[in-house]
Structure 1
Amino acid sequence: MIKFFRKIRQNLLSEGKTGKYLKYAIGEIVLVVIGILIALSINNWNERQKELAKEQLILKQLYSEYQSNINQLDEKILMRNEALEACNKLLNQIDNPNSINEDVLYQSLWTIFRDPTFDPIQNDIVGSENIRLINNDTLVRFLSNWSSEVFQVQELELEYQKFRTEILLPCYLRLGVSRNVNNNLWKDGYSPTEALDKEFNYQFTIEPTKKQLDLKKVLSDVELEGLVSQVITNHQITNIQSQSLRMRIISMLKIINQEIEKE
């Protein structure tokens, strides 16, 4: 092809047709430029297709991760709701000490002692160059804010961890109920809400305390009553924040699904 064009140029020059030669040379340059532009366009198109394919892989990974995150978050919200129900049962027994139900009392004391903590899958997309592959600006904004929003929930959970360890446990030990609470937990089998294998039932016996335990005195303890009410406030506030975080995840999953379905 190059020899063909060269031959045409040589013929035009040998025949003294300078004007036609110049027109031909300009036309040849235009063709070369057009060829280069077409090649660049094809190359850009190929690169864009590769980036879109990478974006799809990232979106599918994000969808799986945030689906796992919302499932875990729902589990923690459920655990707090169970604790709130247990608090109401405890306050009812505190207010009506003449109708004590030992099983309900010990079960409720254990339920509020549990420690729901949200530990989501954290991806590194925000801190990597892959963030530029995501075309949806709203999704990018959600991803950028995710860590700080999770921390707002985890901060409340850390406060409860400290409260549980430093205040609630010492109260249980002082009242002498810890052995009975743990015996009640295991005697009929126990499958934690947060257990990895929820089908397995764990069971063994500790046996209740042999010491004399006055449950009316336990229920009349002012500190216990105050702690139960504090648990209610803490779990309510944490669940409010958790529900807001849950709505963020739902919005993200919806956007991600829409972006995946575009393909």
Structure 2
Amino acid sequence: MIKFFRHIRQKLLEENRFSKYLLYAIGEIVLVVIGILIALQINNWNENKKDLAKEQLILKQLFSEYQNNLKQLDEKILMRNQALEACNNLLNQIDNPTSAINQDGFYQSLWIIFRDPTFDPIKNDIVGSENLRLIQNDTLVRFLSNWSSEVFQVQEMELEYQKFRTEILMPCYLRLGVARNVNNNLWKDGYTPTEALDKKSISKFTIKPTRKSVDLTKVLADVEFEGIVSQVITTHQVTNIQSQTLRNRILNILDIIAQEIEE
């Protein structure tokens, strides 16, 4: 092809037809430019196709991750709701003392409020990396960019409860002398944690109750214990309000991703 064009140019020059040669040269340049533009367009199309394929992989990965995040967050919300119910049961016994205390129910409630629900979502490297530019939905990009700070607001409350549990709840729990009975009640019939990886696994241990005298009437009358129970209610309730907001954010993210994923 190059030889063909060169032959035409040579023939025009030999015939001294300069004007036609000039027009021909311009036409040849135009053809070259068009060829380059077409090549660039094809290359851009190929690159865009690759980027779209990468975006789909990222979206599918995100969808799976946020489904798992939602499942874990729901477990933590459930654990706090169970603790709220346990606290209300304890406060009811505190406010209405009777000689016939349901010991199993009392010890079970104590264990439930002693648990430590913590949300630890899956961490990915999409935000802050060049992969974020592959996501075309601006709303999704904004949600993903704000995700870490929104999670922190929940985790901040959880850290406060961890500190409260370690520095206040645990010392009171031990001072009241009920720790062994609580743990015995937990394991004697088998126990599977709400957050267990294997929900079908049931573990049993033999601890046996303490041989020392434990007066649950005095435990219920303990003013520090009463204050702790009421504080657990407030802390878990506030954390669940934050968690519910985070849950709605996850649902929004999943909804957007589901619309963006190609069938």
TM range (shorter): over 0.9
The offset of 1:4, in angstroms, is: 0.8
For 1:11 and 1:30, the matched residues in 2 are separated by 20
* Alignment of 1:222 onto 2:223: yes
2:91 alignment counterpart: 91
CA deviations over 1:30-64 (Å, ceiling 9, x no partner): 11110000000001111111111111111111111
State how far apart, in whole Å, the 2-side matches of 1:197 and 1:60 are. 25
Letter in 2 for 1:162: K
Secondary structure of the corresponding residue to residue 52 of structure 1:
helix
1:193 aligns with 2:194: yes
Residue 73 of structure 2 corresponds to which residue in structure 1? Answer: 73
Q: Which residue of 2 aligns with 1:146?
A: 147
List 4+ stretches of structure 1 deviating above 6 A: none
How many angstroms apart in 1 are the aligned matches of 2:33 and 2:176?
89
Residues 93-102 or 146-155, more deviating: 93-102
Cα deviation 1:100-137 (Å, max 9, x = unaligned): 11111000000000000000001111121111111111
Separation of aligned partners in 1, 2:133 and 2:216: 62
Gaps of 5+ in 1: none
Aligned residue type for 1:83: A
TM-score by length of 1: 0.98
- CA–CA distance in structure 1, aligned partners of residues 143 and 255 of structure 2: 12
Task: Write the distance in 2 (CA, Å) between the matches of 1:8 and 1:211.
Answer: 112
Shift of 1:7: 1.0
Give the aligned residue type for 2:38.
Answer: I
Identify the residue that residue 100 of structure 1 maps to in structure 2: 101
Equivalent residue number for residue 168 of structure 2: 167
Q: 1:20 matched to which residue of 2?
A: 20
Which residue is 1:116 aligned to? Answer: 117
What is the correspondence of 1:44-55 to structure 2 with a 5 Å cutoff?
44-55=44-55
Question: Is 1:9 the equivalent of 2:14?
Answer: no
> Which residue number in structure 2 is paired with residue 33 of structure 1?
33
CA separation in 2, counterparts of 1:14 and 1:215?
A: 118
Structure 1 equivalent of residue 239 of structure 2: 238
Secondary structure at 2:261 match in 1: helix
For 2:129 and 2:105, the matched residues in 1 are separated by 51
SS at match of 2:43: helix
Distance 1:3 1:196 in 2: 73
Q: How far apart, in 1, do the equivalents of 2:124 and 2:106 lie?
A: 42
**SS of structure 1 residue aligned to 2:219:** helix
Give the structure 2 partner of residue 61 of structure 1.
61
Query: Structure 1 CA distance, aligned partners of 2:31 and 2:125?
Result: 47
- Whichever residue aligns with residue 90 of structure 1, its letter is L
Aligned residues: 262
Spell out, residue by residue over 1:183-226, the C-alpha distance to the aligned partner (whole angstroms, 9 max, x if none): 00001100000111110111112111111111111111111111
**Which residue number in structure 2 is paired with residue 180 of structure 1?**
181
2:184 partner letter: N
234-243 or 94-103: bigger deviation: 94-103
Q: What is the CA distance between 1:149 and its match in structure 2?
A: 0.7
For structure 2, the residue ranges without an aligned partner over 5 or more in a row are none
